[in-house]
A and B are shown apart, each in its own frame.
Chain A
Amino acid sequence: MMHSISRRQALAFGMAGAASLALAACAAPGGGLVNSRPVIPAVPGEKITLTYWAWLKDLQKVADVWNAQNPLVQVEAVWIPGGNAGGYQKMYSAIAAGGGPDIGQVELRQLPEFLLANGVVDLSRYGADQYQDRYDAGLWQQVSFNGSVYAIPQDSGPMAFYYQRELFEQIGATPPTTWDEWALLAAEVRQTGRQNYLDVFPVGDASVFTAYATQAGAAWFRPDGDRWIVDMLDPATLEVAAFFDRAIDADIVNTGYAAYSPPWYAAAAAEQVYGVTGASWGDALVQSISGGEGKWGVAPMQTWGDTGFGSTYLGGSTSAVLANSKHPKEALDFITWMTTSPEGIDAMIANSGIGWSPASDYIGAARAEPSAWFSGQNYNEEVFAPAAADQSLDWTWAPLTQFALNTLQDEFRLKVTSGQSLVDSLVKAQEDIIQAFVNKGLRVEGVRR
């Protein structure tokens, strides 16, 4: 009797094991190639419902504007957690399970990861190329790979410099026009109080450093045939790294906390933060500094002198048509309406507080008005509109963006903990990132300099 039980047990265990191994084999991400399937034609004269997963506030109200005009193509917005806080995980799982929404919000930098996961539809097959001239050229570049468009830019974040007017007046300073001026001013601000800093340098968030390097003219990733070229040690990047090495060594920039973090808000309210280099979407965050109304101004971003560009993008997202959508054509129509028509853009600003408009010719009615909080400064037209036009067109994100940024910021943290220079961090990070490409099963080559 004992013998038969143990045999049966063994059998049950074995079956469970075999079943789950089979499960493991088919559920691994990256099955089926979505863009080798035939194009799905539009269905005229039939009511369909598109779902859109995004972490934008009140997106349904934007969709309702469209729904009122398009009774046959209804859009339903579903809120998901923001990006890596759970939204991507949810989308990846849904795609791997053969489902998911028609449209998903995907950050510009995350888009190549979705390509790698076979998660997005090639929109050039549905006629997206005809809309190219409606969009900002730099953003269009960031959604184009292999000669195709894989998502439609939804918002972006051109950078500028926010500063406390009164504090600047007290020390007789004007906003810096170059990073060298920024460094001189930063040293001056340090003289005003032990806790006072001009700006922060977040060692824990490499996307900011990446934005600064892009401004200086860096292009870390580029496709070459069927392999990737990784080039993080170019002169522009090394110059930016050496600049911040000097700034951190001289203690003229704050590495203790990142912008818009709880300690930053506390320090900003206590007038220990004189300014912050931030993206256009930072205006809403700056406006939540307690007691800050009327004290802040916006100036163009400081530049790297003769090289590089006037501004750079920090953040920004796209609307991508996800792999299992049954109606890619209709989804594309909705997305282009949302991101280029004045009523779509205005609704996005009013309801969702969306970032900078990707449309090349319309920034949104609300943004053409002076801001009462910023003492009546019309900063969107004055500062951000020119900033959005003065961008690098060479930047491309790669399928390992998340890994690259995490590796970089894990190395950058060593600047604070053990004094490893940012320049050395870049050298180590490039090695790790190249290895990660190889581990992902991709062909890659690093540029040695």
Chain B
Amino acid sequence: MSTTTMRTGAGTRPARRTSTLKRSQTIAPWVMLAPFLAVFALTFLIPIVYAVGQSLTTVRRQGLFGEDGVETVFAGFGNYVLAFTNDSFLASIGRMLLFGIVQVPVMIIMATVLALMLESASAKWPQFFRAAYFVPYGVPGVIATILWGFLYIPGLSPIIDIGRLVGLELDFLGPTTVLWSIANIVTWTYTGYNMLIIIAQLKSIPGDIYEAARIDGAGAWRIARSIQLPLIRPALVLASVFSIIGTLQLFAEPQVLAASSPSIDSEYTPNLSAYTAAFAYNDYGVAAAQAVIIALAAFILSFAFLGLVNRKPQEERMALRQRKAALRAFRAGTTTTSTTTGTTTRQGSDS
């Protein structure tokens, strides 16, 4: 259709010129895109395909160390079977689900509350506090963990000393508590970052909506509940998806804290498990399979979450279903029904 329009537009020009123009127009976008595509393929597509390929191979050896022969063979889904029958790896995924179910909502709620408070009319020095809450995000995970480690380690931690004074025996690094100590570090690091995403969305709400609300007599609480929260929904969804993906990728915090907490093992998180398989056991096939599984899990969880929050309300879904049924009837139906349903369809697409 676009080709027809173009040809009519260039009607006065010679036909030959048109055809070269057409060809250059076909090639030009690809020339322009080439640098991007090259880097994209090199840093994104090839590593993914490479990892998937490697996850399907295994090494066979002859002799005590493979000194009599080594070959890399196709293993089918053998590495995936090994990954899924590895209890520690499965436990690490379960651990991260538990972590995410608790930590992500806590963090998003805290970020939302902070954002709403800083964007409220009565906020004092909002710029200063916005920067202050964001600062932890600038601290690398390893450093943050070392900092918090000093507050967790018995004998060094003033918190434990204070707890002891009031008769509380605190153990931040014990088998059941260390996961939540890590959650605390992650929350500390990323709450300010998520707050900033939400603030950016809050700032895009036009001032006249607030004005109209205030004229209608809405207070600060009502504005937050009925205007701000519904309008920052996209930012909340985005922040949540990022956090879900980030949770599955937890690595640096447990890795660093393992030096002080015996409860953190070599497969405490899925990423640690893959790291151990690849670099401690030299088993790149299983590590690649684990990496693919982690990526798929992040994919599935993110889309499940998106599907959940983007579900349309009950009435809307009903209306959509009716409209679709009507459309089908219109296409297959007789002339008499087509006039009535045709109107419905047009109305539907207009709204």
Instruction: Give the CA-CA distance A347 to B153 in the complex, in Å.
Output: 38
Q: Are B41 and A16 in contact (CB under 8 A)?
A: yes
Closest to A263 in B: B153
Instruction: Give the CA-CA distance A145 to B63 in the complex, in Å.
Output: 12
Known: A24-B54, A92-B282, A442-B64. A30 touches B59 (CB 8 A): yes
Known: A33-B67, A146-B67. A402 touches B280 (CB 8 A): yes
Q: Are B64 and A29 in contact (CB under 8 A)?
A: no
- A12 interface residue per 8 A CB criterion: yes
Main DSSP-derived SS at the A contact region: helix
Instruction: Give the CA-CA distance A441 to B75 in the complex, in Å.
Output: 12
- B267 interface residue per 8 A CB criterion: yes
Known: A16-B41, A21-B49, A413-B263. A262 touches B153 (CB 8 A): yes
- B50 interface residue per 8 A CB criterion: yes
Known: A28-B284, A406-B276. A267 touches B175 (CB 8 A): no
Instruction: Give the CA-CA distance A115 to B63 in the complex, in Å.
Output: 11
- B262 interface residue per 8 A CB criterion: yes
Which of A232-240, A253-261, A308-316 forms contacts with chain B?
A253-261
- B218 interface residue per 8 A CB criterion: no
Of the residues B63, B66, B263, contact of A30 by C-beta under 8 Å: B66
- B259 interface residue per 8 A CB criterion: yes
Of the residues A117, A203, A257, A406, contact of B266 by C-beta under 8 Å: A406
- B53 interface residue per 8 A CB criterion: yes
Closest to A28 in B: B72
- B265 interface residue per 8 A CB criterion: yes
List, in ascending order, chain A residues with CB within 8 A of B58's CB: 439, 441
Closest to B25 in A: A1
Chain B nearest CB, measured from A224 CB (Å): 9
Instruction: Give the CA-CA distance A31 to B281 in the complex, in Å.
Output: 17
List, in ascending order, chain A residues with CB within 8 A of B50's CB: 20-21, 23-24
List, in ascending order, chain B residues with CB within 8 A of A203's CB: 262
- B62 interface residue per 8 A CB criterion: yes
Chain A nearest CB, measured from B180 CB (Å): 15
- A295 interface residue per 8 A CB criterion: no
Q: Are B88 and A410 in contact (CB under 8 A)?
A: yes
List, in ascending order, chain A residues with CB within 8 A of B119's CB: none
Interface string of A194-215 (1 = CB under 8 A from B): 0000000011100000000000
List, in ascending order, chain B residues with CB within 8 A of A117's CB: 282
Instruction: Give the CA-CA distance A154 to B279 in the complex, in Å.
Output: 23
- A124 interface residue per 8 A CB criterion: no
Known: A262-B153, A442-B61. A416 touches B263 (CB 8 A): yes
Q: In chain A, residues 102-126, which have Cβ atoms closer than 8 Å to a Cβ of chain B?
A: 112-113, 115-118
Known: A84-B279, A146-B67. A29 touches B59 (CB 8 A): yes
- B26 interface residue per 8 A CB criterion: yes
Chain A nearest CB, measured from B48 CB (Å): 8
Q: Are A115 and B262 in contact (CB under 8 A)?
A: no
Q: Are B68 and A226 in contact (CB under 8 A)?
A: yes
List, in ascending order, chain B residues with CB within 8 A of A31's CB: 70, 72
Interface string of A389-414 (1 = CB under 8 A from B): 00000000001101100100110010
- A223 interface residue per 8 A CB criterion: yes
Chain A nearest CB, measured from B113 CB (Å): 34
Chain B nearest CB, measured from A69 CB (Å): 36
Instruction: Give the CA-CA distance A118 to B67 in the complex, in Å.
Output: 8
List, in ascending order, chain B residues with CB within 8 A of A261's CB: 259-260
Closest to B86 in A: A432
Of the residues A20, A89, A228, A256, contact of B262 by C-beta under 8 Å: A256
List, in ascending order, chain B residues with CB within 8 A of A84's CB: 279-280
- B149 interface residue per 8 A CB criterion: yes
- A440 interface residue per 8 A CB criterion: yes
Instruction: Give the CA-CA distance A258 to B86 in the complex, in Å.
Output: 27
List, in ascending order, chain B residues with CB within 8 A of A263's CB: 153-156, 260
Chain B nearest CB, measured from A176 CB (Å): 24
List, in ascending order, chain A residues with CB within 8 A of B57's CB: 24-25, 28
- A270 interface residue per 8 A CB criterion: yes
Instruction: Give the CA-CA distance A209 to B155 in the complex, in Å.
Output: 26
9 contacts between A and B (CB under 8 A): A16-B45, A20-B50, A29-B59, A30-B70, A118-B70, A226-B64, A226-B68, A403-B281, A413-B262
List of 6 A-B pairs having minimum Cβ-Cβ separation, nearest first: A266-B155, A204-B262, A24-B53, A417-B175, A115-B65, A28-B72
